[in-house]
């Protein structure tokens, strides 16, 4: 089976490579010529553990190719995955322009096609987007053929089951779940069959290949038995390792993705709030998180306090869900609280720094960690970047280091002092602030750090160190919810 993935970013590249490794013939498409030529010359545009050898293996096996030619890839593939960006608009809603553009491109590419295709949306999108994708393709088909003797529309495989003939009454609609947007009188002829599937992705950057091949679940939103069968064939290797499948309608699948991310963001924010309270009363958040995590109903995951969640997903997805709920007339108060508490968490970190250094103007601060978390070069909505921007406003000179994210950070913050390693970063600084949980920051040579720093202040915003150990070495130490 031939598959194409449109959008060769974190999700598209990992999905395409892993599906090629499952044995399918996969074409990854991107409009970014530089990205495609880098991939075609053996490079990998993102950092992701275990991804480069898997790409190389599948290119060599002839199962994985990269192109900017969307039309050709769509025409040749039975299944078309959409994995483009859904960034936030100014009001927090999801910007669906990339999805809409790709959908139109797919519709144009399929103009003269007569067979059946499955169009799978993997991007995180508001509820109703699968329906919108379907409408766009149908409207395009209708527009293209308005002069034809019969009005011609695309027709879902799901409909075929309830209307076995290839000519159906226009007023019948497409499927109960997808009322036809078209108002065509008379009879309509089927041009080609297609189904839209919502298949949200749950991988985490930094462990994306492992997550894709060992997922907790696969969610497939479709009402078409034919499309479901094809999706099950695609994910068959995961059936063999007993991955649970949640088969549902597209709207539910779309909401599952937002519900998961909003819940995890809430859990992080909850433990941050408990940590802030610990700071006021002298309790230790680690012991609280440990005790909470031992409760099987809670689980220990996502109970690590810090500077607030970041990255390309949680901030935008919480905002998008809040905004979407508002447009449905529902005030999602809990989520509103989570979003504002998370923003405030960055400022609370600045207050911590000020508490130890005093007036920040003219001070030099060493920042360890720029990526939004360890094992990635992604700095989208990174807490470190937000904290640096707040420090710069206060007149601070920032020295910094990150094992992978320096090049990306230089593009948006060119005026920082970028250092070779942790020790050069600390040199001459008024404080050292750990902002990302890279493993190599867990075992710093503290005597070397001590010699490099101007003042022995260490603010550990990821709680990597034991307060008592650091204090015994002469540091002024503070974590988040423990000191
Ligand atoms: P990304 O920005 O890394 O990649 C998107 C790619 O799509 C870019 O390379 C862009 O050039 C390409 N693109 C956009 N329009 C195109 C077009 N018309 N034709 C061809 N290519 C086009 O995005 P990402 O991080 O991979 O996220 C993609 C989607 O998956 C988003 O909705 C995101 O919320 C969701 N998601 C992301 C993650 C993650 O960890 N990054 C995890 C789960 C879900």
Q: Express each pLDDT in 131-172 by its tens digit.
A: 999 999 988 877 765 544 333 334 444 444 433 322 222 232
| Predicted local distance difference test score (pLDDT) of residue 192 | 62
What is the DSSP code string of 109-159?
Answer: HTTT--SEEEEEE-S---TTHHHHHHHHHHHHHHHHTTTSSSEEEEEEHHH
Closest by alpha carbon to 286, among 115, 482, 40? 482
Which phi and psi angles does 117 have, rounded to 5°?
A: -135, 155
For residue 114, the model assigns a pLDDT of 80
**344-366 tens-digit pLDDT:** 999 999 999 999 999 999 999 99
Q: Give SS3 for 196.
A: strand
What does the alpha-carbon distance between residue 363 and residue 459 come to, in Å, rounded to a whole number?
Answer: 15
Q: What's the CA-to-centroid distance between 123 and ligand 1, angstroms?
A: 7
User: Looking at residues 408-419, what average pLDDT do you find?
Assistant: 98
Ligand 1 nearest atom to the CA of residue 102, by list position: 18
Q: What spacing in Å lies between the alpha carbon of 468 and ligand 1's midpoint?
A: 44
For 58, list phi and psi in degrees, rounded to 5.
-80, -25
**87: DSSP letter:** P
Least trusted range by pLDDT, from 178-187, 284-293, 322-331, 392-401 = 178-187
What lines the ligand 1 site, CB under 6 Å? Answer: 6-12, 29-32, 35, 70, 83-86, 98, 101-102, 105, 123-124, 201, 203, 205, 312-313
Q: Atom 37 in ligand 1: which residue has the minimum CA distance? A: 11
- Nearest CA, atom 11, ligand 1: 32
Atom from ligand 1 closest to the CA of residue 35: 9
Q: Within the chain, how many helices (H) and strands (E) appear?
A: 19, 16
What secondary structure letter does DSSP report for 42?
Answer: T
Bridge partners of 247? Answer: 220
pLDDT for the residue 159: 43
Could you tell me the distance, in angstroms and rounded to a whole number, from the CA of residue 73 to the centre of ligand 1? 18
- pLDDT for res 153: 36
Q: So what's the pLDDT on residue 241?
A: 86
How confident is the model at residue 191, as a pLDDT?
57
Q: At what angle do helices 314-327 and 250-281 cross, to 10 degrees?
A: 120
* Cα 122 to middle of ligand 1, angstroms: 9
Burial state string for 443-474 with b = 16 or more CB within 10 A and e = fewer than 16: ebebeebeebbeebbbbbbbbbbebeebeeee
- In angstroms, the CA 350 to CA 467 distance is 19
Name the nearest CA neighbour of 187 among 177, 172, 175, 174.
Answer: 172
**What residue owns the CA closest to ligand 1's atom 6?**
7
Q: How far is 248 from 220, CA to CA, in rounded Å?
A: 6
Give 122's contacts (C-beta < 8 A, 6+ positions apart).
Answer: 11, 12, 15, 81, 82, 83, 199, 200, 201
pLDDT value of position 146: 53
| Token pair belonging to 71 | 């039309």
Q: Is the pLDDT score of 179 beyond 90?
A: no
- More confident of the two residues 428 and 239: 428
Tell me, in angstroms, the distance from the centre of ligand 1 to residue 336's CA: 26
Q: Which residue in 313, 328, 400, 419 is the catalytic one? A: 313
Q: Which of 53-67, 99-113, 297-311 has the lowest mean pLDDT?
A: 99-113
What are 389-404's pLDDT values in tens digits?
999 999 999 999 999 9
pLDDT of residue 111: 82
CA 371 – CA 466 distance, rounded (Å): 23
Q: Give yes or no for a contact between 401 and 420, defined as CB atoms under 8 angstroms apart.
A: yes
Tell me the CA distances in angstroms from 97 to 7, 102, 129, 320, 323, one per residue in order. 13, 9, 12, 15, 17
178 has pLDDT over 50: no
Mean pLDDT of all residues in the chain? 91
Q: Which range is least confidently modeled, 147-161, 247-261, 468-482?
A: 147-161
C-alpha torsion sign, points 428, 432, 438, 444? positive
CA of 337 to the centre of ligand 1 (A): 28
392 membership: H or E segment, kind and range: helix 383-393
pLDDT at 209 over 80: yes
Which of 4, 9, 16, 211 for mutating ligand 1's site (highest number of atoms within 8 Å of CB)?
A: 9
Q: What is the greatest pairwise CA distance in the chain?
A: 87
The atom number, within ligand 1, closest to the CA of 204 reads 40
More confident residue, 157 or 61: 61
Structure tokens at 190: 């089927």
Please give the C-alpha separations between residue 263 and each of 208, 266, 281, 329, in angstroms, as whole numbers. 20, 5, 27, 21
**DSSP for residue 396:** -
* Tokens of residue 435, six digits: 């902002």
400 is catalytic: no
- Range with the lowest mean pLDDT among 133-137, 187-191, 214-218, 318-322? 187-191
- pLDDT value at 384 more than 90: yes
């Amino acid at each position: 089976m031939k598959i194409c993935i449109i959008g060769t970013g974190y999700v598209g590249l990992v999905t395409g490579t892993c599906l090629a490794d499952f044995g399918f013939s996969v074409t990854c498409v991107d409009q970014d010529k530089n990205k495609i030529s880098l991939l075609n010359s053996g490079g990998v545009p993102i950092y992701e553990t275990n991804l480069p050898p898997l790409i190389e293996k599948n290119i060599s096996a002839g199962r994985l190719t990269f192109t900017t030619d969307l039309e050709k890839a769509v025409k040749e593939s039975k299944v078309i995955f959409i994995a483009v960006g859904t960034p936030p608009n100014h009001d927090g809603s999801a910007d669906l322009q990339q999805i809409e553009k790709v959908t139109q491109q797919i519709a144009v590419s399929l103009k003269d096609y007569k067979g059946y295709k499955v169009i799978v949306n993997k991007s995180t999108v508001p509820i109703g987007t699968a329906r919108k994708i379907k409408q766009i393709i149908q409207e395009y088909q209708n527009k293209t053929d308005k002069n034809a003797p019969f009005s011609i529309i695309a027709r879902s495989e799901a409909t075929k089951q309830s209307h076995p003939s290839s000519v159906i009454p226009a007023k019948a609609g497409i499927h109960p779940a997808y009322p036809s947007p078209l108002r065509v009188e008379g009879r309509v002829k089927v041009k080609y069959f297609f189904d839209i599937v919502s298949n949200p992705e749950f991988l985490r950057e930094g462990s994306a290949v492992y997550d894709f091949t060992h997922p907790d679940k696969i969610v497939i939103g479709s009402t078409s038995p034919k499309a479901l069968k094809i999706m099950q064939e695609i994910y068959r290797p995961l059936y063999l390792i007993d991955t649970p499948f949640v088969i549902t309608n597209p709207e539910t699948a779309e909401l599952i993705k937002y519900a998961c991310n909003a819940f995890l963001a809430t859990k992080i924010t909850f433990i941050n709030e408990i940590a802030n309270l610990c700071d006021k009363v002298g309790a230790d958040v680690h012991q609280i998180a440990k005790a909470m995590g031992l409760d099987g109903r809670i689980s220990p995951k996502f109970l690590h306090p810090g500077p607030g969640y970041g990255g390309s997903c949680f901030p935008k997805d919480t905002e998008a869900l809040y905004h979407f709920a508002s447009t449905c007339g529902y005030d999602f108060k809990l989520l509103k609280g989570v979003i504002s508490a998370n923003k405030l968490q960055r400022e609370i970190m600045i207050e911590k720094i000020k508490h130890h250094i005093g007036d920040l103007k003219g001070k030099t601060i060493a920042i360890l960690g720029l990526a939004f978390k360890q094992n990635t070069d992604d700095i989208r909505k990174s807490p470190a970047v937000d904290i640096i921007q707040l420090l710069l406003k206060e007149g601070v000179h920032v020295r910094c280091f990150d094992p992978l994210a320096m090049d990306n950070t230089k593009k948006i913050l060119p005026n920082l002092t970028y250092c070779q390693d942790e020790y050069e970063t600390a040199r001459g600084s008024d404080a050292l602030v750990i902002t990302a949980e890279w493993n190599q920051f867990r075992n710093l040579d503290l005597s070397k750090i001590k010699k490099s720093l101007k003042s022995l202040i260490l603010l550990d915003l990821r709680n990597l160190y034991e307060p008592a150990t650091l204090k015994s070495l002469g540091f002024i130490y503070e974590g988040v919810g423990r000191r």
